[in-house]
Amino acid sequence: MTNLPSRRGLLFGAAAVSAGAVLTGCTSNDPDDGGDKAADTQPAADDKPGKPVTIGYAGPQADHGWLNAVNDQAQQRAEKYSDVTLEVTEGSNDTAQQIGQIETLINKKVDVLVILPADGKALTQVGLKAMRAGIPVVNLDRIFNSPQAYRCWVGGDNYGMGLNAAHYIGEKLKDKQGAKVIELAGLDNLELTQQRTKGFDDGLKNYPNIQKVARQAAEFTVESGQAKMAQLLQAQSQFDALWNHDDDQGVGALRAIEQAGRDDFLMVGGAGALSAFQAIKADSGVLKATVLYPPTMAASAIDLARALGQGKGISGLAEFEIPSTVTCYSAVVDKENVDQYMPTGFK
């Protein structure tokens, strides 16, 4: 096999040149073909130990159940591989501090970086700095402003969360005329909240018998969920379904629902908390399903970073390189499939 291009060349060189170097450099080991044609199987990452890879991981402060689960998923995945060393920074929501932590990893010359930025826009420049230093970046969840600041982005589908929540509710209520739904959203100043609402509204358009009669924004906390849900319940004496954007704030929402003595509607949550899975399995309350925003994306980011560090693609795909974008599917978890997802639930 011929020498592969440098990491800097792979990151900033033309894609066709990089792909060509791999294609011409890898030949079959079958003696019958004379060694003059490309191998039938592409180099792909697998569980077998390979080239040692040091991955730098920088995430925000774990001040939310989902963020804590993301950090845990990344570290647990790295421990699976004997050829991976994970350098983890102390999580921070202060952009200047997180930039400093990432610059320390750059100076340590880690092989690959996995970054979940506290603020994608504010950390774009440090992503660019890493890429220009020849360190490929896997941008996790909150996206940088420039695609040049990362080699691969992996994250959830906020629009898809809303779309799938609407589809689940729509199918449950499709035979009811004059059905009413309400929405307990997250922080309205976040684009992800706007995307979730847009997906929900677009999905409801497929069910003309259903009308969204109220929407209240909370703050992704138990306390805000309880307070805002109490307001919705006071304002809406009758409705058929509720979509709550976030299972953490959903804990508070369920408290408000219980205190009000309401059980005359179905509820769909969001994200995939263990408490939500347990409530869905018990099937003793209004919560009937939740739409995933899977923290397992962090484990996938480690897989992608390892493949990058070893110069490999992904098993099951024909391409020699990992994709530039990986969007996780927002699956709906209900009583029928909750056992499958229970191990991924976060506290």
pLDDT averaged over consecutive 10-residue blocks of the chain (347 residues)?
Answer: 38 34 30 40 76 96 87 96 96 93 98 96 97 98 96 98 98 98 95 96 98 97 97 97 97 98 97 97 98 96 97 91 96 98 93
Question: For position 325, what pLDDT does the model report?
Answer: 97
Question: For position 92, what pLDDT does the model report?
Answer: 87
Question: For position 265, what pLDDT does the model report?
Answer: 98
Tell me, rounded to whole angstroms, the distance of Cα 344 from its chain centroid.
Answer: 13
Rounded Cα distance between 309 and 344, Å, is 26
Question: For position 63, what pLDDT does the model report?
Answer: 80
Question: For position 65, what pLDDT does the model report?
Answer: 85
Burial of 213 (0-12, 13-18, 19+ CB in 10 A): middle
Nearest to 195 by CA among 144, 236, 142: 142
Domains of the chain plus CATH, in order, are 42-155+296-316 (3.40.50.2300), 158-293+332-344 (3.40.50.2300)
Helix, strand, coil distribution of the chain in percent, nearest 5: 45, 20, 40
Question: For position 40, what pLDDT does the model report?
Answer: 44
Question: For position 45, what pLDDT does the model report?
Answer: 78
Rounded Cα distance between 163 and 161, Å, is 5
